[in-house]
Amino acid sequence: MLKETELKRPNRLNFTGGWNYDPAPESASNVKLKETYQHFINGKFTEPEEGKYFATLNPATEEKLADVADGSAADVDAAVKAARNGYNKYWSKLSGRDRARYIYRIARMIQERAREFAIIESLDGGKPIRESRDVDVPLSAAYFFYYAGWADKLEYAFPNRNPKPVGVAGQIIPWNFPLMMAAWKIAPALAAGNTVVLKPAETTPLTCLKLAEIIQEADLPPGVVNFVTGAGATGSEIVSHPDIDKVAFTGSTKVGKMIHKSVAGTNKKLTLELGGKAANIVMDDAPLDQAVEGIVNGIFFNQGHVCCAGSRLFVQEGVADTVRDKLIDRMESLIVGDPLDKNTDIGAINSQKQLQTINNYLELGLNEGGEIYQSSCPIPDKGYWVAPTLIGNVSQSHRIVQEEIFGPVLTIQTFRTPAEVIEKANNTPYGLSGGVWTDKGSKIFNLTSQLRAGVVWANTYNKFDPTSPFGGYKESGIGREGGLHGLSAYLKF
Ligand code: NAP
Ligand code: MG
């Protein structure tokens, strides 16, 4: 266990030698947002039945970006009816080749409007523009391209199994990767021949509504893709609607369990992508500088708002001091601030509620006896921010080691043997992801085959590809998204 004095080394280094990067903000001036956004139902932007709206904010400034329709049971019902009609009348009648054409068109239009999407994603959700520009938007297009390729090849993907679409899919997504989660859900559903009703998260609806504009311009038949915005209650209406054939949910384990109960005993197909508490394991023969970059990438970028974030660091004893020192030095150099600035490493926490959750965990960590080191970086006055944080002097029984914090907060523990670290890494209710850093292939095989996690990265972290399935064990979920596994989740055989 690390001692208090060893973790507290703030302000030790001045990395920039007295100079700082000049701000390099991406201009948002040519991004057009409407003041008010309606639901997108049956190919048209549609007023909410009860006339209610809620605001979505920019978490970096706390300013309102737009008002967004608050979906009621009647709105959900209208969207499900539109999706059923779109399925019966149009989508189920098209050949796979024609479906592919529409999906390719969506992919290309996302690419054409990539800059606009990236800026809106950063404005609405608080993530650094570097991340939305280089990860979220290109990957969203890539998922549409990938699944478009399967639409006319379902018989080859699942030979002799006579794959058939499920029908109408109800999809609910969280706020950490709004456009990308929509792509993960819509692209395979459409390729498999289903129509969809999707609800984005309350705090980040704008890129989905921009995607609705693309779907309109791409001239998809009415009702094939519908967006209903709203809070948890709206999501719950989608899940319980009797004419939904498949529920796909990404979000917290708590809500996932409620959804699981609600669809039990129905014929609805279900996939759940839930929380995580991933172990990132550094062996003593690992390339340490590379590992430190991977640790930073795994937990601090995107503010730790990543279900597969490497939030528990395990370092082999012989290199523990070196890794801790290098990590603290690197943390001191991270830039926290304006999400639209291209130099920014860590943007705004997505909402005040999430900020409160993270701060509660930091307090809990201190009360449990954790030693907290926070980077001494300047923090903007307005908006929701957390400096990158490392917590030592913790053990397996600490709640901050067991529970998902979903912020830029990393716990650090040491281990001696592979057997010990496997035991510790698997000692959580979750099983979504993990990371291993070592120079030796045999150690990679040994550790990765024993970690109970759906995705394990070796000598890298947080890499995604549309061809690769993603999903969890234990309380991290049911089923997979991505690759052929993700396609089969939208088919019946
Ligand atoms: P959340 O509260 O579960 O919300 C996720 C989505 O479900 C949001 O659209 C939410 O609406 C909606 N929702 C809330 N209550 C609902 C209900 N009773 N019935 C149906 N829908 C409901 O999760 P979050 O806190 O926003 O997101 C963070 C969580 O997502 C983390 O636990 C993270 O690990 C997980 N996550 C997992 C993955 C993965 O692939 N495994 C990916 C990303 C995130 P509102 O936005 O209006 O509340
Ligand atoms: Mg917002």
Q: How does pLDDT run across 252-301, given as a tens digit for each residue? A: 999 999 999 999 999 999 999 999 999 999 999 999 999 999 999 999 98
Which tokens is 133 given?
A: 């520009």
| Residue 171, phi then psi, degrees to nearest 5 | -130, 135
Dihedral-angle region of residue 489 (phi above 0 means left; psi in -120 to 50 means alpha; beta otherwise): alpha
Q: Quote the DSSP letter at residue 171.
A: E
d(CA 74, ligand 1 centre) in Å: 22
Name the residue with the closest Cα to ligand 1, atom 39.
Answer: 273
Distance CA 166, CA 169 (A): 8
Name the residue with the closest Cα to ligand 1, atom 47.
Answer: 231
| Residue 250, phi then psi, degrees to nearest 5 | -125, 130
Name the residue with the closest Cα to ligand 1, atom 14.
Answer: 232
Query: What pLDDT score was predicted for residue 451?
Result: 97
Which tokens is 212 given?
A: 């609705």
First to last CA, the chain: 52
Q: How does pLDDT run across 193-209, given as a tens digit for each residue? A: 999 999 999 999 999 99
- Domain 36-274+476-492: give its CATH superfamily: Aldehyde Dehydrogenase; Chain A, domain 1 (3.40.605.10)
* Cβ–Cβ < 8 Å for 56, 66: yes
Mean pLDDT of the chain, nearest integer: 95
Per domain, the residue ranges of the chain are: 36-274+476-492, 276-458
Q: Which helix (H) or strand (E) holds 78?
A: helix 73-89
Which alpha helices (H) appear in 284-346, and where do they start and end?
288-299, 317-332
Question: In 3-state terms, what secondary structure has residue 349?
Answer: coil
Q: How does pLDDT run across 311-321, given as a tens digit for each residue? A: 999 999 999 99
Q: Where are the beta strands (DSSP E) in 38-106?
A: 39-41, 44-46, 53-58, 63-69
Cα torsion 41, 239, 354, 314 to 10°: value is -120
Residues with CB under 6 A from ligand 1: 172-176, 199, 201-202, 231-232, 235-236, 239, 250-252, 255, 258-259, 273-276, 307, 404, 406, 432, 472, 477
d(CA 57, ligand 2 centre) in Å: 4
The band of 22, judged by pLDDT with boundaries at 50, 70 and 90, is confident
**How far is CA 318 from each of CA 286, 393, 468, rounded to the nearest angstrom?**
11, 17, 34
Query: What pLDDT score was predicted for residue 5?
Result: 42
Q: How does pLDDT run across 200-243, given as a tens digit for each residue? A: 999 999 999 999 999 999 999 999 999 999 999 999 999 999 99
d(CA 232, ligand 1 centre) in Å: 8
Q: Under 8 Å CB-to-CB from 51, ≥6 apart: which residues?
A: none
Query: What pLDDT score was predicted for residue 445?
Result: 97
Q: Which helix (H) or strand (E) holds 51?
A: none
Residue to mutate (ligand 1; options 206, 252, 404; most atoms within 8 A of CB):
252
Structure-token match 């006319």, residue found: 152
**How far is CA 55 from each of CA 37, 58, 65, 229, rounded to the nearest angstrom?**
10, 10, 7, 11
| 371-388 mean pLDDT | 93
Helix, strand, coil abundance in the chain, percent, nearest 5: 40, 20, 40
**Does residue 383 or residue 301 have the better pLDDT?**
383
Q: Under 8 Å CB-to-CB from 76, ≥6 apart: which residues?
A: 197, 228, 234, 237, 238, 241
Q: How does pLDDT run across 469-483, given as a tens digit for each residue? A: 999 999 999 999 999
Top-level class of domain 276-458: alpha beta
| 17-31 mean pLDDT | 82
Q: How does pLDDT run across 132-148, given as a tens digit for each residue? A: 999 999 999 999 999 99
The band of 1, judged by pLDDT with boundaries at 50, 70 and 90, is very low
Structure-token match 């990957």, residue found: 139
Cα torsion 90, 214, 107, 222 to 10°: value is -10
How does strand 195-199 pair with strand 225-227?
parallel
Dihedral-angle region of residue 482 (phi above 0 means left; psi in -120 to 50 means alpha; beta otherwise): left
Which alpha helices (H) appear in 368-413, and where do they start and end?
399-402
Distance CA 128, CA 120 (A): 11
Q: How does pLDDT run across 150-168, given as a tens digit for each residue? A: 999 999 999 999 999 999 9
Name the residue with the closest Cα to ligand 1, atom 9.
Answer: 201
Distance CA 169, CA 285 (A): 47
Query: Does the pLDDT of residue 389 top 60, yes or no?
Result: yes
Query: Does the pLDDT of residue 17 top 90, yes or no?
Result: no
Query: What pLDDT score was predicted for residue 246?
Result: 98
Which bound ligand lies closest to the C-alpha atom of 307?
1
Q: Which atom of ligand 1 is nearest to the CA of 477?
A: 41
Distance CA 426, CA 442 (A): 20
Query: What pLDDT score was predicted for residue 30?
Result: 86
Query: Does the pLDDT of residue 4 top 80, yes or no?
Result: no
Query: What pLDDT score was predicted for residue 6?
Result: 46
Distance CA 253, CA 272 (A): 9
Catalytic positions: 273, 307
- The percent of residues above 70 in pLDDT, for the chain, comes to 96
Query: What pLDDT score was predicted for residue 14?
Result: 47
| 16-26 mean pLDDT | 74
